[in-house]
Structure 1
Amino acid sequence: MLQNWLQWNRRAKQWLWIITLIGVMAALPIGYNRMNTESTSKQVEYVFDYRDLIEIAEYSAKPQDFISQHLIFMKEAGISTMAVYESSLRELMQAGRLTYYNSKEAALLQGKLETPGQNFTYILYSGSAEKEQIGPIVRAAFDRAGIVYRDWSFDGRDGLVVELPLQNSLLQPLGFDPMSLERIQAAGFRVLPRLTDRVLPYSQEEAEATLAQLKNYGVTRILFDGDKVKGYTDNAEEKSLRAFAELLNKYQIGVTTIENLKKEQSGMTTLAYLTDYNIVRLYSLSPTDAMRMKPEDIADRFLLAAKDRNIRMFFLNGAPASSQDKSAVINPLDNLYLSLKGEDGNKGTIQRLADAGFAPGTAEPFDREYPSWVKMLKGIVVIGAIALIALLINAFLPGTLIAVFLLGIAGSAGLYVLSSSVLEQALALGAGISAPTLALIWVMNRIYSRTEGNQRFVGGADWTFRSKEKGQGVVIPLSSSGDAGSKWVFEGLPARRRLGLAFSWFIVVALMSLIAVPYVFGLLNNITYMLVLQQFRGVSLLHLAPIALVAIYVVFYTGHAPIARIRKMLSTPINVLMVVVGLIVVAAGMYYLSRTGNEGQTLPFERPFREWLEGTFGVRPRNKEFLLAHPLLLVGLFAALRYRAAWLFVIIGSIGQLSMVDTFAHIHTPLHISIIRVFLGLGLGAAVGFILIGVWQLLEGVWSKWSPALKRIFAE
């Protein structure tokens, strides 16, 4: 019975590889559909923070003239949109709409003594136009909060006395400044309003009045200010998110999500779903970067964001800063203008992005299509991923292939009912780990068959013997413990033959690892990943698990008597050297993980080098792939056919295989960019690897020539 079961598993192995390849083929049309979606939104929009312009203008002799002048400069530079905020008394005073005082200041203004026991807010409008347009939003805010106020005037100017301390009055949220909206529109700019969820409780009537007002100014998209979207706070009781989404859909207004926030704005994912993902991604240039970065560096950053991360809006910030050297308050506006327009014959940001296919205009969401056949193909991809994972498990637990595959089918069906998103991510992670691991196991067995003589097929328990007479290397004699003997150098294969085998294996390993790629983009084919509303979890596990599994396989599953080898390893006393090596491995692993994912850390000199690669090739290959992992893998394959210890290079080189798969886990990066990046890394990595092999051969020749003399010297 056991023999029959093992025979069924051996036959099933071939069928599961066929199912795996069918899953790969099924994922390709899904990837093509995604590429079509990514091509539907190509316009980019440049936005400046109008509040920052007002703050900068405060440090000029004539603030209003300064604002008017720089609105013209911004229009000429290519900025098309102004971001405006819900107002406050402080911002209205900065804009010159009104002036406010506390009780003591108001008494001094009127030449009177302060009224004892009174701490009120006094407001004076700057003129009749301000009273007519600003007065209603001020009174509406105090009415909503139930605060008592009355009319007041001084020196021909009308205003209010508010029975609330000034500091509290300054915190009251007001509506949008209609005078600023009119000025921005008259200057030819679009408006990007920034809404908050500070106006509580949520009122559907007020929200609709606000959106209707904004729609009159041509608003097509809003950006939320703060850590939550409008309607989130009262959503549990009032279902306000759904109500606000209905208003957005009614007025055909989309939303904007900000890249690299420490925490996503609460309620954004729900609101995105309710608005049918009418969303664009925005990159915000900080005031510090706007001041300090060179214009060409800003252009490089924006180009990379649009091309590699689907950014379609660029938010420019500016802030005044004191300069001791210039004895003045400076601002970054001129630097921003140069970065957008260019100088001295160099193309600016707008022209460079336009040349890359991202013309300036109104940012639009992706026009996504989800044909009915996608769901059917995705089901095939799911089955293929389960087959691939089962093959990996069977490589470590021979004879379990059929059972694991059937359990995987049943478990996936149950998990789909609970959470389809968790199922997709789990299978994508499993496939991402399985393909590179199986590829490296395959090549380890090929190396073993060419050196020590035994070969184990990937995913199965079959063993074959290659004899010395067939020219496949020297068979290593076994020690009494059952382990391979102590021979560390294998003879028999010339360098040219080893180079040919190493390169062919390098190609096969890469292709086997890339089997995981269609599973990643096929399973994670959802607009939420493209918009980074949802992220692929398990990146750290993807980077570590295959390395650990391959190391375990080499130690315990190659050679003879693995049980005896495990017993011997467990009984070996721990010494200081082992502890030191272990600490080094842990430190290297932590540093390796610190460089993975979206928040990966880089060395200071790497950024200029990355920018050079981006400018030279158009798409930047990953440094760790073409400078480290791929060359080491090729060198390791070449050297391992002669030196036992060179297997370590192969294990380290596995990092490149994992990195290739991880590249496609960044779903917000266009698929064609990831494809170019991976194959460019492979090509450059192979070139560097050939150079290192040449250096290796040179050093080996030098050692062969001079080592006998050195041995004689030391012997004497």
Structure 2
Amino acid sequence: MTKNVIAIAFILILLTAIGSLPLLANRWQAEENDRQVEIAIPGEWVLQKGKLQLAQLQLFKEAGATTVLLEAVLPKPDDAAMPGELLTTAFKSAALALREQHGWEVMAYIAAERFPVQEEFVKELFKELSAAGIKRVQFAGMEVPGYTSDLEPIANSLIEYKMHAVLVKSQQGALALSRQSGYQSIRSLFFNSQQLQSMTISEAVDTFELGVRERGIRLVTFMPQRGGAVEGNEGAAVKRTDYESHVQAIIEQLHRQLKDEYRWGDASPIAEQYSEPSKLWRTLPVVGIGALFLLLAGSVFEALSSRIRTVIILLIAAGTAAIWVLWMAAPAGWSGRIESVIALWGAIAAPSAAVLWMRRWHKRKELSPQEMEAAANNGAVGKNRDIAKSGDIVRNGVGNRSAAIEKRAVGVGHALIKAVAGYAAAVAITSAGIIYVSALLSDIAYLAYIDLFRGVKLLYVGPITIIIIGLLLQGDWFNTWWGDRRGANGAADLAAGDTHRSHLQPRLRSARDTANSRSRKRRNALFIGAALVAGGAGMAYLLARTGNSDMVLPYEGELRQLLSDLFGVRPRTKEWLIGFPLLMIAACMVARYRRGIWLLPLGAIGLCSMVNTFTHLHSPLSISLTRSWTGVLLGGAIGVLFFILADCLWKKRDRQQDVNMEGN
């Protein structure tokens, strides 16, 4: 029954993963088309008393700037009678000259307290902005005008005149305005003048480049220096000039580093590049997530009775169908919430099913203790010739204990092949989950950074908890490395490894085995206690670092930069240095010694982080893919090297112990 369920689950996973790939291809194409970047500078740097300073303009243009941020000074909204034209003649003349004569883009910068909230004035303002050739507007202040009353006039005007609002996520009302205007917004990255002056040129360039490459930023804005230059204050004027020179150097270096991959000027929202797929097309990821739960159930509940497993499988199938019907019938607001919950379930199920299935796959290839004992006594088990040979060696009285054990354990090469195969299968199952989550959340609200994937911390805690429960149900949790590492099975070691010596010294062997057993139990108890404490502390630290955390270990910043320089995209530390090496080491130990089961929950950290990487839906798929596969390969290689080194040391120690025992 379990084999049939798992076979059906794998077939569904394969079909739905392949069927969901066109959804990701659609998003990939939109992200490749969305490579137009703008660099905006304050208008006061190139304007003096309403006249363009051509020398300054040319310097910034040669550096790579594309856009001028012009501040629109509007009449006070409490005036009894507002004038017929809201924009000044100087503003409109400068905007037209910059666009038509010098080839610059212009962005209007409007203070919220001066913005007219009446609908007729809003329409008139956007009409004048459009006539001046302005395509985007940035609002100053902590909130968007009309946030507390009505955003609809601004949203409708943006749509009517095909203009874009600059999205500042911390600004109240910015997300609501983007939704109401059909996601016609462009994300901007900027720092105030004090922050930017405190950064070196390299630090600032690295930050802006990271935003453009990995976070979908398409507008880099340099804000004016407020309160700096004052008429007649020579010191303040010099300070302001230094700031402008600092910005110019940053723009030049940023332009050099990005010019081969990005186009410059006239950026557009991702909504203009991306065609959102229908709900019906996104049914495939929902079915795929149900198949992941089916695979998970087949691995977790294998020890239960056939009847209980059947009930669980039917509940999973019925639950998947019910959720799909509810999602299809839900209105727009509730549909997004249900969609995010389904995606979270899939994100938790994928690494859980991957690790537990990897353990099940290794377990199928192992012999039971009874089979191992028979192999040792008879030397005739066809499934494992190495065991048979070791039985012959011991029975014929030739060779020492470590030679028999070395023959009887699975060879390093064979174990590595099995371990790498299991590791690759776990990554493949997790990748299927990533396809489902990314395809299901292929909603423009996520790509435009308006909606965010929720439950990142649960994405780590959930799989690790499920894996521990699964191992407990399978009776594997206490099958640790410390049991008796030096054989493929502890039972076989006692049955075969000591057979020759037991004929000569039965009483001594019995006393030694009893002492060793007690010693092993004490080590196990101490080890399990220490592992629980260390695991709890590690999980607390991991959760503290999860998300947009500023917690960085000493020298980690330098290491991150080195990895970025080597691979182009920095792999995540918790993947290449912690999760994936532990997963590979666990796979190697299980394949060679049937030990190391306790490492599997810790190895799941890499798979969880891999899923988490792709839940940053505003980041380009190409970046997430490069980051994850770099972590998979680098972490796997580290795990293999560590295991080979440790295995050599263990062999050397075992041989020395045997020499000492033979001498005694």
Normalized against structure 1, the TM-score is what?
Answer: 0.71
Kindly provide the CA deviation profile for residues 257-313 of structure 1, in whole angstroms up to 9, marking residues without a partner as x: 13xx4x4x3433443233332222211134244223332333333222222111110
* Deviation of the 1:655 alpha carbon: 1.1
Judged with a 3 Å threshold, the aligned counterparts in structure 2 of structure 1 residues 576 and 695 are, in CA distance, closer, same or farther, namely closer
Partner residue of 1:21 out of 14, 17, 21? 14
Query: For residue 31 of structure 1, what is the aligned residue in structure 2?
Result: 24
Aligned mates of 1:631, 1:405 — CA distance in 2: 35
Q: Deviations over 1:141-186 (max 9, x none)?
A: 452499xxxxxxxxxxxxxxxxxxxxxxxxxxx9766535644654
The amino acid that maps onto 1:308 is E
Contact 2:344 2:459 in 1 (8 A): yes
Cα separation, 1, equivalents of 2:226 and 2:656: 68
Q: Distance in 2 between matches of 1:699 and 1:226?
A: 64
Does the aligned pair in 2 maintain the 1:20–1:384 contact within 8 Å? Answer: yes
What's the secondary structure of 2:437's corresponding residue? helix
Amino acid in structure 2 at the alignment position of 1:34: R
Are 1:86 and 1:175, in contact at CA under 8 Å, matched by a contact in 2? Answer: no
Provide the secondary structure at the position in 1 that maps to 2:551.
Answer: coil
**Which residue of structure 1 aligns with residue 249 of structure 2?**
338
- Displacement of 1:712 after TM fit? 11
Deviation by residue 1:505-561 (Cα, 9 ceiling, x = unmatched): 111111122110110111001111111100111111112211121122222323599
Q: Indicate the residue corresponding to 1:402 in structure 2.
A: 314
Q: By how many angstroms is 1:250 displaced?
A: 2.0
Q: Which residue of 2 aligns with 1:524?
A: 441
Residue 426 (structure 2) pairs with residue 509 (structure 1): yes
- 1:156 maps to what in 2? none
What do the CA deviations read for 1:588-617 (whole angstroms, capped 9, x no partner)?
212101222244633352233223322322
1:382 aligns to what? 286
Match of 1:42 in 2: 35
> Quick check: 1:438 aligned with 2:438?
no
Q: Which moved more, 1:176-185 or 1:595-604?
A: 176-185
Question: Which deviates more, 215-224 or 694-703?
Answer: 694-703
Secondary structure of 1:377's partner?
A: coil
Give the letter aligned to residue 259 of structure 2: A
Match of 1:669, SS state, is: coil
Q: Does the C-alpha gap of structure 1 residues 577 and 705 become closer, same or farther in structure 2, counting only changes over 3 Å?
A: closer
Could you tell me whether the CA contact under 8 Å between 1:255 and 1:279 is conserved in 2? yes
- 1:449-503 superposed Cα distances (whole Å, 9 cap, x missing partner): 4557399xxxxxxxx99985332999xxxxxxxxxxxxxx995212222122111
**Residue in 1 that maps onto 2:600:** 650
Alignment of 1:244-323 (within 5 A): 244-258=154-168, 261=169, 263=170, 265-317=171-223, 319=225
Residue 659 of structure 1: how far off its partner (Å):
1.6
Other-structure match for 1:414: 326
Which residue pairs with 1:551 in the alignment? 468
* 1:248 alignment partner AA: L
Cα distance in 2 between the residues matched to 1:215 and 1:195? 15
Q: Is contact 1:449-1:472 (8 Å) kept? A: no
Contact 1:452 1:473 in 2 (8 A): no
Q: Is the 8 A contact 1:272 1:279 kept in 2?
A: yes
| 8 Å CA contact 1:415, 1:422 repeated in 2 | no
Q: 2:66 aligns with which of 55, 69, 80?
A: 80
Shift of 1:643: 4.8
1:370 aligns with 2:275: yes
> Residues 42 and 223 of structure 2 are in contact (CA less than 8 Å); yes or no, is this contact kept in structure 1?
yes
Q: Is the 8 A contact 2:87 2:128 kept in 1?
A: no
Q: Take 2:440 and 2:448, find their aligned partners in 1: how far apart are those partners? A: 16
Q: Distance in 2 between matches of 1:206 and 1:226?
A: 20
Cα distance between partner residues in 1 of 2:80 and 2:656: 91
Q: Which runs of 5+ in 1 are unaligned?
A: 1-6, 88-136, 147-173, 236-240, 342-347, 456-463, 475-488, 563-574
| Paired-residue identity, % | 24
How has the CA–CA distance of structure 1 residues 11 and 653 changed in structure 2, closer, same or farther, with 3 Å as cutoff?
closer
Q: Residues 437 and 312 from structure 1, CA distance in 2 versus in 1: closer, same or farther, beyond 3 angstroms?
A: same
The one-letter code of the counterpart of 1:602 is V
Q: Residue 125 of structure 2: which of 210, 213, 220 is its match?
A: 210
Indicate conservation of the 8 Å contact 2:188/2:220, yes or no: yes
Equivalent in the alignment of 1:106:
none
Whether the aligned pair in 2 keeps the contact of 1:291 and 1:318 (CA below 8 Å) is no
SS of the residue corresponding to residue 463 of structure 2 reads helix
Q: 1:201 to 1:177 in 2, by over 3 A?
A: closer
Kindly provide the CA deviation profile for residues 669-711 of structure 1, in whole angstroms up to 9, marking residues without a partner as x: 1112222222222222222223212321332244235456899
Alignment of 1:694-709 (within 5 A): 694-707=644-657
Give the partner amino acid of 2:317: F
Counterpart AA for 1:445: R
Q: How many residues align?
A: 570
Segment of structure 1 superposing worse, 276-285 or 384-393: 384-393
- Cα 1:213–1:553 shift into 2, 3 Å: same
Map 1:478-627 to 2 at 5 A: 492-558=409-475, 582-599=532-549, 601-627=551-577
1:689 is matched with 639
How far did 1:629 drift? 1.8
1:335 shift after superposition: 2.0
How much is the aligned-residue C-alpha RMSD, in angstroms? 3.9
Following TM superposition, by how much is the alpha carbon of 1:15 offset from its aligned partner in structure 2, in angstroms? 3.0
Contact 2:297 2:313 in 1 (8 A): yes
Q: 1:577 to 1:709 in 2, by over 3 A?
A: closer
C-alpha separation in 1, matches of 2:527 and 2:409: 34
Distance 1:559 1:658, change over 3 A: closer
- Kept in 2, the 8 Å contact 1:530–1:668? The answer is yes
CA displacement 1:23-69 (0-9 Å, x = unmatched): 21221011111111112221110012346x59xx9xxxx99999776
State the distance in 2 between where 1:286 and 1:200 align.
22
Q: Offset at 1:440?
A: 0.8
Tell me the alpha carbon deviations over residues 195-219 of structure 1, each in whole angstroms, 9 at most, x when there is no partner. 4543587201211222222223321
| Distance of 2:386 and 2:255 partners within structure 1 | 61
Are residues 408 and 178 of structure 1, via their aligned partners in 2, closer, same or farther at CA, if it must alter by over 3 Å?
same
Distance change >3 Å, CA 81–CA 709, structure 1 → 2: same
| Whole-Å separation in 2 of the counterparts to 1:401 and 1:466 | 37
Q: Following the alignment from structure 1 to structure 2, what is the Cα–Cα distance between the partners of residues 467 and 200?
A: 87
Q: Which amino acid aligns with 1:31?
A: L
Change (3 A) 1:282 1:77: same
Residue among 359, 368, 371 paired with 1:453: 368
CA contact (8 A) 1:43 1:361 kept: yes
Measured at CA, do residues 555 and 316 of structure 1 come closer, stay the same or move farther in structure 2, by a change above 3 Å?
same
Of the three residues 316, 341, 360, the one matched with 1:426 is 341
Matched-pair contact (CA < 8 Å) for 2:17–2:288: yes
TM value normalised by structure 2: 0.76
**Alpha carbons of structure 1 residues 452 and 386: separation in structure 2 relative to 1, 3 Å:** same
Alignment-mate amino acid for residue 627 of structure 2: R
Larger relative helix fraction: 2
Secondary structure of 2:127's aligned partner:
helix
